[in-house]
């Protein structure tokens, strides 16, 4: 729960949903829990990452996950593959990791090189180790209302809503973007939290008319500053999952034009420091959960 005096606001009045501070708090608690777990069981929760290809964003992301694991006392291993590696080579290592009792979570960094069939590789991942929650089995379990790890970015957004005590039940949530890692699972999680959900995508007609009806707007399209204040209902909660590089600009840029949106919204995530840090926190949390569940 956030204490009112600690809540930062934009000059326009919107609450800034501080993912960086929230993630830090989750990871601080996790570090304590992991340390106690290791002392009691002798098991170090461990995450293995398969990183194939030379995508600089993926390399940066995996490196920051390694650092975050180390800080939380979680073990991490990275299995790098050249972009010329074959799918069979990746699948062989995945099979070893699936059966390695010292590995509790496995992350297959998206995107795999174009030469590989990503869903086919993901479908071989042991669902009990799918801490990124994006394998077909985990997605199916989510849809069926069964226990499963949830995709980390959507799970991070839901955790932010929960910690800021933002009501979801009965609200109209509009999710723009329908990717397997982001838009689709986010829509299901909101639905499970009893929101009325509309999913939009690149073929949606009159998008602004729909986004202006959203009590909760999730921007997940990968287009810098696409959503401005005119597309947002006054008082809406805006979650910006976008991370975009724009030439000539420092750092990452979200899918939402923060300045104009923050003058209309009641709460909004900044970029950076909003949704991004929550993704890593959820990955670590899931790895710890997988380690706990691995004990017979």
Q: How far is the CB of 113 from ligand NAP (least distance, A)?
A: 16
Query: Whose Cβ is closer to ligand NAP: residue 105's or residue 183's?
Result: 183
144 to 183: interface string for ligand NAP, x by CB under 6 A: ---------x----------------------xxxx-xxx
Instruction: Quote the distance between the C-alpha of residue 128 and its chain's center.
Output: 18
| Cβ-proximal residues to 254 (8 Å cutoff; 6+ apart), any chain | 219, 224, 225, 240, 241, 242, 243, 244, 269, 270, 271, 274
Query: Whose Cβ is closer to ligand NAP: residue 279's or residue 287's?
Result: 279
Q: How far is the CB of 254 from ligand NAP (least distance, A)?
A: 8
Distance in angstroms (rounded) separating the CA atoms of residues 254 and 243? 5
Q: Which of 168, 137, 163 is nearest to 150 (CA)?
A: 137
202 binds ligand NAP (CB under 6 A): yes
Q: How far is the CB of 97 from ligand NAP (least distance, A)?
A: 22
Half-sphere exposure (Cβ direction) of 59: Cα atoms closer than 13 Å: 8
The helix/strand/coil state of 9 is strand
Strand ranges in 114-184 using DSSP code E only, listed in sequence order: 172-176
Q: How far is the CB of 206 from ligand NAP (least distance, A)?
A: 11
Q: Which of 131, 144, 156, 219 is nearest to 188 (CA)?
A: 144
* Catalytic residue, candidates 65, 171, 233, 285: 65
* Catalytic residue, candidates 18, 129, 130, 132: 132
Query: Whose Cβ is closer to ligand NAP: residue 215's or residue 225's?
Result: 225
Query: Whose Cβ is closer to ligand NAP: residue 37's or residue 256's?
Result: 256
| Cβ-proximal residues to 281 (8 Å cutoff; 6+ apart), any chain | 22, 23, 26, 27, 30, 156, 159
Annotation says 109 is catalytic: yes
Please report, as residue ranges, which positions from 266 to 295 form the binding site for ligand NAP (by CB under 6 A): 275-276, 279
Please report, as residue ranges, which positions from 230 to 269 form the binding site for ligand NAP (by CB under 6 A): 241-244
Query: Whose Cβ is closer to ligand NAP: residue 2's or residue 58's?
Result: 58
Q: How far is the CB of 157 from ligand NAP (least distance, A)?
A: 9
15 binds ligand NAP (CB under 6 A): no
Give the interface with ligand NAP as residue ranges (CB under 6 A).
Answer: 153, 176-179, 181-183, 200-204, 207, 220-223, 241-244, 275-276, 279
Which positions are catalytic? Answer: 65, 109, 132
């Amino acid at each position: 729960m956030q204490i009112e005096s600690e809540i930062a606001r934009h000059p326009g009045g919107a609450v800034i949903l501080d993912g960086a501070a929230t993630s830090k708090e989750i990871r601080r608690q996790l570090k304590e829990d992991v340390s106690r777990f290791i002392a009691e069981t002798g098991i170090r929760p461990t995450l293995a990452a398969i990183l194939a290809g030379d995508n600089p964003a993926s390399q940066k992301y995996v490196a920051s996950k390694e650092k975050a694991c180390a800080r939380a006392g979680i073990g991490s291993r990275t299995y790098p593959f050249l972009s010329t590696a074959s799918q069979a080579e990746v699948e062989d290592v995945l099979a070893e990791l699936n059966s390695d009792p010292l590995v509790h979570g496995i992350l297959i960094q998206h995107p795999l090189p174009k030469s590989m069939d990503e869903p086919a590789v993901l479908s071989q991942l042991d669902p009990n180790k799918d801490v990124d929650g994006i394998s077909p089995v985990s997605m199916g379990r989510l849809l069926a209302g069964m226990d499963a790890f949830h995709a980390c970015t959507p799970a991070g957004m839901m955790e932010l809503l929960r910690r800021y005590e933002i009501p979801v039940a009965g609200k109209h949530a509009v999710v723009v973007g329908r990717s397997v890692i982001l838009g689709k699972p986010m829509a299901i999680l909101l639905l499970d939290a009893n929101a009325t959900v509309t999913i939009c995508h690149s073929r949606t007609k009159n998008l602004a008319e729909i986004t202006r009806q959203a009590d909760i707007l999730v921007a997940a399209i990968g287009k810098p500053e696409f959503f401005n204040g005119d597309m947002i209902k006054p008082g809406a909660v805006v979650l910006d999952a976008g991370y975009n590089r724009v030439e000539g600009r420092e750092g990452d840029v979200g899918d939402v034009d923060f300045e104009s949106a923050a003058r209309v919204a009641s709460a909004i995530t900044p970029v950076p420091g909003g949704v991004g840090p929550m993704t890593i926190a959820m990955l670590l949390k899931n790895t710890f959960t997988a380690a706990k569940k691995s004990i017979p």
